[in-house]
Amino acid sequence: MNHTHNESSGEMEILAVRIRQDIIKMIHAAGSGHPAGSLGMTDVMVALYFRILRHDPKNPDWPERDRFLLSNGHICPARYVTMARAGYFPPDELLTLRDFGSRLQGHPERLRLPGLESTSGPLGAGLAQGAGLAYAARMDGQDWRTYVLTSDGEHGAGLHWEAVLFAGKNRLTNLTCIVDRNGIQIDGPTEEVMPLEPLREKYLAFNWNVIEIDGNDIGHVVEATELAKSTEDRPTCIIAKNVPGRGVSFMENDHRWHGQAPNDEETEQALAELQETERELTMNVD
């Protein structure tokens, strides 16, 4: 089964704004979490679960499903809300984020929640796991694809670049790495902490196809993955440039919101801004 939806681009944008509201509510209720990256990657999550992935929430272990791994597991609120909206579990669980015994831990745990391919937390490990899955699919003659979402900050990990080497050497055309290129990490701007540029040229040198996009444009994300599918001789890296804290004015492009929960007043302001955006988008769709 190919689990797809027929929402228009406008309806998808509205869905993304609603997901952002849930993210704020979840992190506020938990009193901890990572809002900047979660808000920035919401559009990518919507594109994946509602347009790109071959999956079935009613049969999460379907053998022919595409595999999606979240390497930067700390932005799991964006994934949890999107999965709930896609039908993997009841949305009323969302406010249990980080609670003791909850299925929604601060980093995804594979055995707790249906539809998770890996337990993520150690940054830099996701692409290695994804490359292994992609290689296994080729060995078994399977046509499912593997998608790995990585942060730009975790590109400082050596293991990540070993995986880049492995995937390039073996021409894993069924592997797509999406880079959350928001330019921040917990200690500040990435280009000050550990410069990554020229990032595109580095992937090209490792025998990867590279596509640079606006990661806050759902259409761009979908188009890029279609181009990745048509690439026949190498894996693809999609560098998704995006705004951390997207949609909340005082969080945008501020590394201090990498791992900080909003207080009551900040939550109220953030939700008010997002609700106003939703109203404007709804008027345009209607």
> Do the strands 175-181 and 146-151 form a parallel or antiparallel pair, or are they unpaired?
parallel
Answer whether residue 113 is part of any domain. Answer: yes
pLDDT tens-place values along the chain, 286 residues long: 445 555 678 999 999 999 999 999 999 999 999 999 999 999 999 999 999 999 999 999 999 999 999 999 999 999 999 999 999 999 999 999 999 999 999 999 999 999 999 999 889 999 999 999 999 999 999 999 999 999 999 999 999 999 999 999 999 999 999 999 999 999 999 999 999 999 999 999 999 999 999 999 999 999 999 999 999 999 999 999 999 999 999 999 999 999 999 999 999 999 999 999 999 999 987 6
Give me the torsion for CA of 199, 202, 206, 210, rounded to 10°.
40
Distances in Å between the Cα of 275 and the Cα atoms of 130, 137, 264 are 36, 43, 16
Do 125 and 73 touch, CB atoms closer than 8 A? Answer: no
Q: Where are the alpha helices (DSSP H) in the chain?
A: 9-30, 35-40, 42-47, 76-86, 126-140, 158-169, 190-193, 199-205, 218-229, 264-285
Residue 272's region, left for phi above 0, alpha for psi from -120 to 50, else beta, is: alpha
Total number of domains constituting the chain: 1
Answer whether residue 27 is part of any domain. Answer: yes
The enclosing domain of 174 has a CATH number of 3.40.50.970
Answer whether residue 180 is part of any domain. Answer: yes
Answer whether residue 1 is part of any domain. Answer: no
Answer whether residue 44 is part of any domain. Answer: yes
Q: Which residues contact 286 (CB under 8 A, 6 or more apart)?
A: none
Answer whether residue 4 is part of any domain. Answer: no
Structural domain boundaries, residue 62:
9-285
Task: Give φ, ψ of 2 to 5 degrees.
Answer: -100, 105
Do 255 and 56 touch, CB atoms closer than 8 A? Answer: no
